[in-house]
Structure 1
Amino acid sequence: MAQRTAESFTTTPREDGGGSAPEKQLHTSNEKVEQILQASRIRDYARLRELAAEEGGFVDDLTRRTAWPVLLACNSDETHPDAELVPHPDEAQVDLDVDRSFVYYPEDESEKRALKRNLAGIIKKVLRRHNMLHYFQGYHDIVQVLLLVLGEDAAFEAVRRLSLLRIRDFMLPSIAGTEIHLRLLPPILHALDAELYRHLSQTQPFFALAATLTLYAHEIEEYGEIARLFDFVLANEAAVPLYLFAVIVVSRKKELMKIDANEPELLQAVLSKLPKPLDLEGLIQRTSDVFKTHPPHKLSGRAWRQVSNYSVLKTTCKPEELAQQTPEHGECLFMQQDAEIKRREARALRHRQLGLLARRYRWPATYAGLVLFPVILAYGSTRLPATFWSPMLFHMRQQISHVFS
């Protein structure tokens, strides 16, 4: 991930059609930096969101070191004692992934080793402090960006709050929390381009997994580009990376329409890789416009209604409320969503078992429900003697009792 030059990356607005002078560009850049700093001082999240969507984002890393902690509502006064933190079960995988990090920068091996130690230390500290979180491959790519921009001291609190309050769904024990994000992609595509949506209807949206799961940090190699994209992502709610992916897909319509719709595997392979180069500024502006026109709650179908109220897709919608959430709030939401997923999965398992049971006895579908209904109602009854049931129905009563036990 993240190829970086030795100097802090700075974005500047491109020249207009008349050819602006470098002095004017510098003046514009300085003026924008002051606007970002002022919005950060007064916690004006709406203004920071506007500035993040404008060309160049937050301009440079020095400005990001002020704006990002504000967007993540970091508390610099909070202390984090390290004593008696129990190692997390996922730390072996963390070490493997960290060892593959910092491929392009820095060139100095001693500096690279130091950064790897810092990266592993931050990740392990977050996981140990919040042991319920489950590490996923690519998480280190996200943390790497925050470490490079903010530095070791400020990165921990930023990573901690990002993990619990922004990407919590991805760190649940079940992939179901991640899958609900991907299920939003088809209705977004439908809103943007119905023809392309139909063309891709046989292709499952898992092609967006690597990019959206890692906030694009695993897919975009240039440090300047991923830092600039993080300006936009951190200033917006959790659904925005999905909208960005949909905009990227629509930008490739001509290429995708040439592939037969009956070849979902080929479409999946093409869609899973981001095009290069990316017109990042154009994509960000388009995504910002699309999100305003087609917000998640106005998407067609049931996808948004099926999103848990505990999901970050819904708990990040209001930046002022999000800023008031603490890591402890994040833990509570995590446990509530995890319990909800487990209940839903248990119900689905029972339904599958009942379906298998019905097929086992080869009942016509027309009569299966009529027979099963009284059986289910009476499966726990002890008022009727076993001799009341025919041998087959008595056996089924026992099977159903086992399913619901």
Structure 2
Amino acid sequence: MKKRHTNAKFVRLRKVTQTKEDIELNRRIRRINEAISSKELDLLRHLARTDNGFVNDGLRRRAWYVGWRTPDWSKPTQPSGFCTTRRPLLLHCGKVIDDWDENKAEEHKDERQVLLDVERSLNNYPTDLTPVTKKQKQDDLNDIIVEVLRKYPLLHYYQGYHDVCTCFLIVMGKTNAIPAIENPILRQLTLINTLLKLEDPPVFDFIDEVGVLPYYCLSWILTWCSHDITDFAKVARLFDFFIASNPLMPVYFATAVVLSRRKELLEMEPDNALVHHFLSKFPQDVDVDILVVHAIELEIKFSPEELQRKAGAGLDETSTVNTYATLWSSLQPGDVPSKPDAERILSLPPAERKPSRFGDQGPARNAKERLVLKNRTLWTLLAVGAGMGTAALIMLNNHAMRQWMVDA
């Protein structure tokens, strides 16, 4: 009887035909799995900020759980309509519904707009949805957003927030998406003009001379590009990156996007409307990993503290940008962010929030910078933007501001 050596030959053949890219990808997947199992947070941050991030949604889901260090996620929960078990932290919303019940909760005034946006959602990704599964996903998305709005009735929905929630819904599923979008992680968003001025004066001068203010990148920063990029793989890759970085990283990334279009930008006619329109359109064919590398280089070159100093515009001492190192990235495996610290910071009224001082406050602001800063309400939107979570719902009662956001 003939001996069979098929398996051995097959193994040898497979090793021979495996490409260098395959070997690197498999090695990366092993490192991600090992980092998740051992809860090596520094390694997870490094992996999220390099090459293909967490590679796929299966690894991404597990890595995000570990990276967020959220106790409730250590145990799977059973879907049961609206989640009613988590105590909200957003005390600064003024009114919070404790121990709320779906059947008793009052309808939020923005629910009609949510429904209109949700009905137009999920057209770009996922790409394999049947009409039936698409409708189910839309129902889940609507439930997630409505739950947050009803828990925090003083919050205001803004168009684009549903795109943020969509990414968490796809990666985590309905039940685990709720605590992700409910977590209070504020994102201070200023300083893009300062970065442009420091990194590429000709680009800054051109944008400044045509009078274009930094509102063109607002949706990139508020929604972590999920409102502007149609390729979900790119969106999920960026979420890996932003989750593992200082909250100011979306600003570094936005700057990298602008600089990647330097040649086209400087060849344009110096027309305000044309330049604003050009800058506001996120380039769909861009390699996001190249932009990620550039954003990291900008962060290394101009740290959040140094950037604030050079801009002469210190963010709040209690901002997530300035407390990231002490209250978040310094945590060890098994540590949980301090709920009392979060409640203390989030309950501070605006009048008691003090800007950080960094000694030399940089050069005097030019006229256009003063124009942006003149209207404190508008600048607050740029300075205290929202990342994932309820913080992405802009907590403003100013009707003009909300209309401006919709029209921007």
Same-fold call, TM cutoff 0.5: yes
CA distance in 1, matches of 2:254, 2:349: 25
- Residue 211 of structure 1 deviates from its aligned partner by 1.2
Q: Give 2:220's aligned residue.
A: 211
| Conserved? CA contact 1:310–1:337, under 8 Å | no
Q: Give 2:9's aligned residue.
A: none
CA distance in 1, matches of 2:315, 2:217: 18
Q: Give 2:116's aligned residue.
A: 96
Q: Which one of 248, 251, 266 corresponds to residue 257 of structure 2?
A: 248
Q: Give 2:33's aligned residue.
A: 37
Match status 1:25 vs 2:21: yes
The 10-residue stretch of structure 1 (81-90 or 205-214) with the greater mean CA deviation from structure 2: 81-90
- Residue 297 of structure 1 deviates from its aligned partner by 1.2
| Conserved? CA contact 1:184–1:304, under 8 Å | no
CA distance in 1, matches of 2:108, 2:317: 28
| Conserved? CA contact 1:101–1:116, under 8 Å | yes
Match status 1:160 vs 2:182: yes
The 10-residue stretch of structure 1 (100-109 or 298-307) with the greater mean CA deviation from structure 2: 298-307
| Conserved? CA contact 2:305–2:322, under 8 Å | no
Match status 1:293 vs 2:301: yes
Deviation digits for residues 152-184 of structure 1 (CA, Å, limit 9, x no counterpart): 1221122212xx12xx35xxxxxxxxxx62x31
Q: 1:227 corresponds to which letter in structure 2?
A: A
| Conserved? CA contact 1:187–1:301, under 8 Å | no
Deviation digits for residues 322-379 of structure 1 (CA, Å, limit 9, x no counterpart): 87436775565444254558xxxxxx899xxxxxxxxxxxxxxxxxxxxxxxxxxxxx
Match status 1:231 vs 2:240: yes
CA distance in 2, matches of 1:137, 1:315: 29
| Conserved? CA contact 1:210–1:218, under 8 Å | yes
Q: Give 1:109's aligned residue.
A: 131
CA distance in 2, matches of 1:265, 1:227: 31
- Residue 273 of structure 1 deviates from its aligned partner by 0.7
Distance 1:279 1:336, change over 3 A: same
Deviation digits for residues 294-335 of structure 1 (CA, Å, limit 9, x no counterpart): 112112766464312343333445533587436775565444
Distance 1:234 1:260, change over 3 A: same
CA distance in 1, matches of 2:60, 2:296: 20
Q: 2:57 corresponds to which letter in structure 1?
A: D
Distance 1:111 1:98, change over 3 A: same
Match status 1:118 vs 2:140: yes
Distance 1:36 1:86, change over 3 A: farther
Q: 1:98 corresponds to which letter in structure 2?
A: V
Distance 1:86 1:45, change over 3 A: farther
- Residue 39 of structure 1 deviates from its aligned partner by 2.3
**Highest RCO, 1 vs 2 (Cα 8 Å, sep ≥ 6):** 2
The 10-residue stretch of structure 1 (65-74 or 295-304) with the greater mean CA deviation from structure 2: 295-304
CA distance in 2, matches of 1:150, 1:22: 32
Root mean square deviation of aligned Cα: 2.9
**Helix, strand or coil for the counterpart of 1:200?**
helix
CA distance in 1, matches of 2:340, 2:48: 28
**Helix, strand or coil for the counterpart of 2:348?**
helix
**Helix, strand or coil for the counterpart of 1:47?**
helix
| Conserved? CA contact 1:297–1:304, under 8 Å | no
CA distance in 2, matches of 1:282, 1:349: 35
Q: TM-score, normalised by structure 2?
A: 0.68
Mark the structure with the bigger radius of gyration: 1
Tell me, which stretches of 5 or more residues in structure 2 are unaligned? Answer: 1-15, 78-84, 87-98, 354-373, 377-408
Q: 1:63 corresponds to which letter in structure 2?
A: L
| Conserved? CA contact 1:296–1:304, under 8 Å | no
Q: TM-score, normalised by structure 1?
A: 0.69
| Conserved? CA contact 2:47–2:54, under 8 Å | yes
| Conserved? CA contact 2:35–2:44, under 8 Å | yes
Match status 1:312 vs 2:311: no
CA distance in 1, matches of 2:154, 2:343: 8
CA distance in 2, matches of 1:232, 1:130: 28
Q: Give 1:194's aligned residue.
A: 201
CA distance in 2, matches of 1:118, 1:154: 12
| Conserved? CA contact 1:185–1:243, under 8 Å | yes
Q: Give 1:345's aligned residue.
A: none
Q: Give 2:358's aligned residue.
A: none
- Residue 31 of structure 1 deviates from its aligned partner by 2.3
| Conserved? CA contact 2:308–2:314, under 8 Å | no
Q: Give 1:147's aligned residue.
A: 169
- Residue 272 of structure 1 deviates from its aligned partner by 0.6
